[in-house]
Amino acid sequence: MPQIHLDTDLGGDIDDLCALALVLSWPGAGLVGVTTNQDNGGRRAGYVQYALRLVGRDDVPVAAGADASLPCFRVYPGLPDEAAYWPEPIPPVPSSLDTALALLERSIRQGATIAAIGTYTNLALLEARSPGILRKARLVLMGGFIFPPRPGFPAWTHEMDWNIQNDVEAALCVIRHSDPLFVPLTVTVETALRQADLSALRRGGPLAQLIAGQAEAFARDEGYAPRYGQTCAGLPDDLINFQHDPLTCAIALGWREGVEISVLPVHTEIRDGWLRQTVDPAGIPTRVVTRIDGTKFSAFWLRMITGTLDERLEPNDVPGILQSAWHVSA
């Protein structure tokens, strides 16, 4: 059974909730813990617990980690209007930072894969507390800007890479003290949550219905359809959001359909206040997801969340899709 720990900033961009739902739906996956980063007095942890209760998973330990009040963040990571995104008021679940770091360390020592789908602040704080721990970790990081997006997708720059750029010192620490697998922004931008998906989500279980409601609010607030869907040839016209974090979690759990993973020599440095990653012959060999089939993954995510993936086949029944999270293509 694959074990996974989510380190997440759930409660802002809705793809974190989409990722949690995917992990909870994954055949045979064991969610061993959730830590939140950029939390707001435990509000993000409260949202995680609420989502887990919807599907009867009160057994998953949750702890609020690095708080948004820390001075390390480039931009204060606030939260959207709770009433617009959640069906009822949700009490915060604060905890000490030590509690969160202990939970994260326990998951690493148990051999769980850590899917980091927010800033890397908790990981850097854990390395400072327990030097050498990240070398033992199986890390899959959502983030990285090693090459630009392909034509047909948003022409973003490294400055859009929130997970890395909102705490560059933490990102540099994690990169230098671990051997991660990067799922870069420039490939995750090829995925999509669409207006066309909402009817299936509304017919799904309570978590799928919650995602549908949040997707409607997100579409109103962010307007990705006119900004990106209708201006980028590679994206659907009815785009609501990108599935950055669900793709990362799927790859952490072994999704390989249309996925290419390569080892690239990557040089990393902080320059003018921004973390920059470049391919350099003298760089550190780094595992990077270099290509995906975004359309295929987006359809797979929807079928998983709505329970229509061939009646939830076991991983061994899906040949060619699930492989070791550490497999690297030639």
Domains parsed from the chain with CATH numbers: 3-317 (3.90.245.10)
Give the mean model confidence (pLDDT) for residues 110-116: 97
* DSSP code per residue over 173-191: HHHHH---EEE-HHHHTT-
Give the mean model confidence (pLDDT) for residues 287-312: 88
**Per residue in 166-188, pLDDT tens?**
999 999 999 999 999 999 999 99
CA distance 138 to 325: 9
Task: Quote the pLDDT of residue 311.
Answer: 40
pLDDT band at residue 307, thresholds of 50, 70 and 90?
confident
Give the mean model confidence (pLDDT) for residues 318-328: 40
Secondary structure class of 270 (helix, strand, coil): strand
Using the predicted structure, report yes or no on whether residue 318 has a pLDDT greater than 80: no
pLDDT band at residue 1, thresholds of 50, 70 and 90?
confident
**Per residue in 133-166, pLDDT tens?**
999 999 999 999 999 999 999 999 999 999 999 9
**Per residue in 44-67, pLDDT tens?**
999 999 999 999 999 999 999 999
Give the mean model confidence (pLDDT) for residues 104-112: 97
> To 10 degrees, what angle do helices 15-25 and 294-306 make?
60
Task: Quote the pLDDT of residue 325.
Answer: 43
